[in-house]
Amino acid sequence: MSENSGGLLLVVSAPSGAGKTSICRDIMKMFPDIVYSVSYTTRPPRPGEVDGRDYRFISDEAFRAGVAKGDFIEWNEVYGYLYGTSGSDIKKLLEKDNDIILDLDTKGAVNLKKIFPEGIYIFISPPSLKELKKRLSKRGSDNAKTLKTRLDNALEEMKAAFWYDYIIFNEKLPVAVEQFKSVYLAEKCRRERLEHKLEKLMKELEE
């Protein structure tokens, strides 16, 4: 499904506390044509989260039935809950030439790369461990145990950073957003992605 499509897959991973959500939100404000891939999850919604916008919140049984049917192009268990990307959702978006942001954990990103090697894999990192700890402890809804788990998980996720195409150290949000924007715009101009347009132009010139 990937070969015929003109859309760009931007796969974004980050440990919790790196500021991924804020960066993606600003990028999507800047580029309203970029579509966010809404994942399926068995995690209950957090306050303010909307079904169908942030996630599609489904039961464990429904998720596992989806896995059995092959509905997910990638899925993983994160913090005890299941998260997955619907293959048909991505196919539909790419067929419409949409550029897509996917927010995946590092394992999900590695799995997706097997299907979409032409995707752009971006890792967002906190600038330092000190800053990461500060940001995580500011998250009021997390208790001490969750904080420790999130920190351990964050460090685990950081180990995967070496695998990605691009790394953005999010020290200052506006700078990180500019860096993301630069990656996106430069990737849009890659020759491999534009060859079909060039060929069309050449045909017109030859006529």
The contact mask relative to ligand 5GP for 32-51 (x = CB under 6 A, - = no) is: -------x---x--------
Residues 58, 46: Cα–Cα separation, whole Å: 14
Q: What pairs with residue 8 in β-bridges?
A: none
Euclidean distance between the first and the last CA atom of the chain, given in angstroms as a whole number: 31
Q: How many residues bind ligand 5GP (CB under 6 A)?
A: 14
Chain residues 62-91 in contact with ligand 5GP, contact rule CB under 6 A = 74-76, 78, 83-85
7 is a contact residue toward ligand 5GP (CB under 6 A) = no
Chain residues 112-171 in contact with ligand 5GP, contact rule CB under 6 A = none
Task: Considering the complex, state which of residue 133 and residue 193 has its C-beta at the smaller distance from ligand 5GP.
Answer: 133
CB-based contacts of 40: which residues, under 8 Å, 6+ apart?
55, 56, 58, 63, 66, 72, 75, 82, 83, 84, 85, 86
Summarize as ranges the residues that interact with ligand 5GP (CB under 6 A): 16, 39, 43, 74-76, 78, 83-85, 103-105, 108
